[in-house]
């Protein structure tokens, strides 16, 4: 791992998350300890109900932990903030605004008090260009494809210049070809922005292709980190070149073994 990936940027220390339900307390996460280095791409993977999105929401500051501490750049995460941009599976674009206006809204909120209108416009246009959508600036969400909507969502998050990009299955609802195209584009965007990324996914190949490390979660309830796999693949990465790469195949097999052998066994015992 390079020197740029040696500093602790996100720190998760002894985190536990319990939700109140009609049937009583529900322990979703327990004993979560993880650090993410500056510029690192980390994927969270596991079966449904293992708390991946819960953990991402804790990093985003959308929920507070029942126990433990989360830090970003040595500051406690006490709520949402522009230092952490979030991209959900649902793009959450405002349908009555154009692509440009959807992004400009976020830019204005973060930089409106300190920058001129021309600077805000330039930031918005740069974000659209980064995801290759300058030509769609004046289109509304209803006039563009699902893949383009997700790219606008990514552009909106990046336009705020967040320290951390948090992604909750951003390509999960897309067809296989569109998903592959956006994965390749995300590789290029992250290489350009040097962003620190934490991404939730169900897709083993997506996790191996994109990540520096894969955090594999045990089954819920009371889910925790079962194993962390370092992906030793050089960047830039090409999915075609990696298809027969022994390190790629080894990493893929390790994740599949964890999810469908060891964790499948746990599910059967719990049934």
pLDDT at site 269 = 43
Mean pLDDT value of segment 50-56: 94
Say yes or no to pLDDT of 38 above 70: yes
- With a cut of 50, say whether residue 270 has pLDDT above it: no
Axis-axis angle for helices 176-193, 117-130 (nearest 10):
130
CATH class of this structure's domain 3-83+162-270: alpha beta
CA dist 83 and 43 (Å) reads: 19
State the CB neighbour count (10 A cutoff) for residue 110. Answer: 19
- What digits encode the pLDDT tens for the residues 135-168? 999 999 999 999 999 999 999 999 998 989 999 9
Pairing state of beta strands 41-45 and 196-201? parallel
Tell me the average pLDDT across 61-68. Answer: 96
CA distances from 240 to 182, 184, 212, 246 (A): 15, 11, 18, 13
Please tell me the pTM assigned to this model.
Answer: 0.90
The region, left, alpha or beta by phi > 0 then psi within -120 to 50, assigned to residue 161 is: left
**Burial (Cβ within 10 Å: 0-12, 13-18, ≥19) of residue 150:** buried
What residues does each domain of the chain span?
3-83+162-270, 95-161
Q: Is the pLDDT of residue 98 over 50?
A: yes
DSSP class per residue in 173-212? TS-HHHHHHHHHHHHHHHHHHT-EEEEEES-HHHHHHH-S
């Amino acid at each position: 791992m390079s020197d740029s990936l040696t500093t602790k940027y996100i720190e998760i220390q002894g985190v536990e998350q319990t939700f109140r339900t009609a049937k009583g307390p529900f322990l979703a996460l327990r004993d979560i300890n993880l650090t993410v280095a500056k510029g690192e791409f980390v994927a969270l993977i596991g079966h449904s109900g293992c708390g991946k999105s819960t953990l991402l929401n804790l990093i985003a500051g959308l929920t507070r932990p029942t126990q433990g501490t989360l830090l970003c750049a040595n500051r406690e995460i006490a709520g949402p903030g522009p230092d952490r941009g979030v991209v959900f599976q649902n793009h959450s674009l405002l349908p009555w605004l154009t692509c440009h206006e959807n992004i400009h809204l976020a830019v204005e909120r973060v930089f409106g008090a300190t920058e001129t209108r021309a600077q805000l416009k330039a930031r918005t246009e740069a974000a659209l260009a980064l995801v290759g959508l300058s030509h769609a600036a004046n289109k509304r969400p209803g006039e563009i494809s699902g893949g383009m909507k997700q790219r606008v969502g990514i552009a909106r998050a990046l336009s705020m210049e967040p320290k951390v990009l948090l992604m909750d299955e951003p390509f999960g609802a897309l067809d296989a070809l569109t998903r592959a195209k956006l994965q390749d584009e995300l590789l290029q965007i992250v290489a350009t922005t040097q962003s620190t990324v934490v991404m939730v996914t169900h897709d083993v190949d997506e996790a191996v292709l994109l990540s520096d490390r894969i955090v594999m979660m045990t089954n819920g309830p009371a889910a925790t980190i079962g194993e962390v796999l370092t992906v030793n693949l050089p960047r830039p990465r090409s999915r075609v070149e990696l298809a027969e790469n022994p390190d790629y195949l080894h990493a893929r097999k390790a994740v599949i073994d964890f999810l469908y052998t060891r964790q499948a066994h746990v599910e059967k015992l719990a049934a």
